[in-house]
């Protein structure tokens, strides 16, 4: 009996220590997130188009964030897929808020990866933004806590970035086989040939969040790019009412794309 009591006592101590460590880690992540947001926020922008003769002149399409030397901005390829009205001098642009004032910088697309729905823009002139550091997406594990910052419903909420946080609830294939052949389409077939894993999150992203950086709350290192359209076309094609599940493309594919724009820096 005494032996059992001693064992239970030891077990209780182990459990208490374990939960104490977990609570401390969670608290530490919570404590560091406000400072991280303050640090990275200047490098997160609205991606859209600008046309001087249009009202409004700026059209918000999604979110992006600065990388490299600060002259490059990454977003989702579908965000910048809109056909520009070059006849009326419509151009790609990023929008930021500095010192209480809204600012616009024109940009051009210098690289795209349709397979992973990524695009890189180059800011015009000598414009630079504080770049975000890229992390190692191969080290991301299910259950880990991450945050993403972007511009949901941008034209309505304006240039005020919003942050959400949540765990990686699954690391799952970007496309899965469908139950019935009639559910297949050209996009699905193409993606089923070369499937890759994406991060599934338990935090909700909204229209305008596409292109937002998914980052470590403590270090601010980016491990993924939020995607609201591309993945849903594959994983949720069979749903009549798409879910609120959020996905992110691992940053390893962004690293590969950056190799194609070295001459643009």
Q: Rounded distance, CA 248 to CA 167, Å?
A: 12
Q: Which helix (H) or strand (E) holds 200?
A: strand 197-201
* Residue 102: active-site member: no
pLDDT for residue 155: 77
pLDDT of 257 higher than 80: yes
Contact 64, 74 (CB under 8 A): yes
Selected catalytic residue, list 71, 116, 117, 234? 117
Q: Rounded distance, CA 228 to CA 144, Å?
A: 21
- 64-98 burial code (b ≥16 CB/10 A, e <16): bbbbbebbbbbbbbbbbeeeeeeeeebbbbbbbbe
Band (pLDDT 50/70/90 cuts) for residue 80 is very high
Residues composing the chain: 265
Mean pLDDT along residues 222-249: 70
Q: Rounded distance, CA 142 to CA 97, Å?
A: 35
pLDDT single digits (tens) 179-201: 444 444 555 545 556 679 999 99
pLDDT for residue 233: 52
* Residue 69: active-site member: no
Q: How distant, in Å, are the alpha carbons of 42, 111, 183, 223, 243 from that of 133? A: 13, 19, 40, 9, 31
Give strand pairing partners of 104.
95
Query: Which tokens in the block code for residue 12?
Result: 């209780």
Query: Which tokens in the block code for residue 9?
Result: 């006592």
- When comparing pLDDT for 217 and 230, which is higher? 217
* DSSP codes of every residue in 77-140: GGGG-SPP-GGGT-EEEEEEEETTEEEEEEEEEEEEEGGGTEEEEEESTT----PPPB--GGG-
CA dihedral angle for residue 181, residue 76, residue 79, residue 77, rounded to 10 degrees: -70
* Residue 234: active-site member: no
Selected catalytic residue, list 71, 210, 212, 234? 210
pTM higher than 0.85 for the full model?
Answer: no
Q: Rounded distance, CA 226 to CA 222, Å?
A: 11
Query: Which tokens in the block code for residue 211?
Result: 């292109």
Q: How distant, in Å, are the alpha carbons of 6, 7, 8, 9, 10 from that of 3? A: 5, 6, 9, 10, 11
pLDDT single digits (tens) 84-100: 998 999 999 999 988 88
pLDDT for residue 127: 94
pLDDT for residue 236: 46
- When comparing pLDDT for 129 and 185, which is higher? 129
Q: How distant, in Å, are the alpha carbons of 11, 23, 118, 151, 224 from that of 121? A: 55, 41, 10, 18, 17
pLDDT for residue 82: 86
Q: Rounded distance, CA 2 to CA 18, Å?
A: 24
Q: Rounded distance, CA 156 to CA 88, Å?
A: 25
- When comparing pLDDT for 177 and 262, which is higher? 262
Is residue 201 packed enough to be buried (19+ CB in 10 Å), middle (13-18) or exposed (0-12)?
buried
Band (pLDDT 50/70/90 cuts) for residue 177 is very low
Q: How distant, in Å, are the alpha carbons of 34, 90, 107 from that of 264? A: 34, 22, 12
Mean pLDDT along residues 96-121: 94
């Amino acid at each position: 009996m005494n032996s059992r009591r001693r064992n239970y006592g030891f077990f209780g101590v182990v459990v208490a220590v374990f939960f104490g460590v977990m609570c401390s880690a969670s608290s530490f992540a919570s404590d560091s997130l406000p400072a991280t947001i303050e640090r990275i926020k200047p490098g997160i922008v609205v991606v859209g188009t600008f046309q001087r003769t249009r009202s409004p002149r700026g059209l918000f399409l999604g979110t992006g964030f600065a990388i490299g030397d600060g002259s490059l901005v990454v977003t989702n390829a579908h965000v910048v897929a809109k056909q520009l009205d070059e006849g009326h001098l419509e151009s790609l642009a990023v929008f930021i808020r500095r010192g209480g004032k809204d600012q616009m910088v024109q940009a051009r697309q210098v690289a795209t990866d349709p397979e992973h729905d990524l695009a890189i823009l180059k800011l015009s002139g000598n414009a630079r933004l504080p770049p975000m550091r890229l992390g190692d997406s191969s080290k991301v594990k299910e259950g880990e806590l991450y945050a993403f910052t972007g511009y949901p419903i941008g034209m309505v909420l304006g240039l005020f970035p919003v942050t959400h946080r949540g765990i990686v609830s699954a690391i799952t294939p970007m496309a899965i086989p469908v139950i019935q052949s009639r559910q297949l389409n050209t996009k699905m077939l193409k993606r089923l040939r070369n499937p890759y894993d994406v991060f599934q999150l338990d935090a909700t992203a909204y229209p305008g969040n596409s292109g937002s950086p998914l980052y470590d709350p403590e270090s601010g290192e980016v491990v993924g790019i939020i995607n609201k359209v591309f993945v849903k076309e594959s994983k949720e094609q069979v749903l009549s009412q798409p879910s609120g599940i959020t996905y992110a493309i691992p940053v390893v594919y962004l690293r590969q794309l950056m190799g194609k724009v070295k001459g643009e820096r």
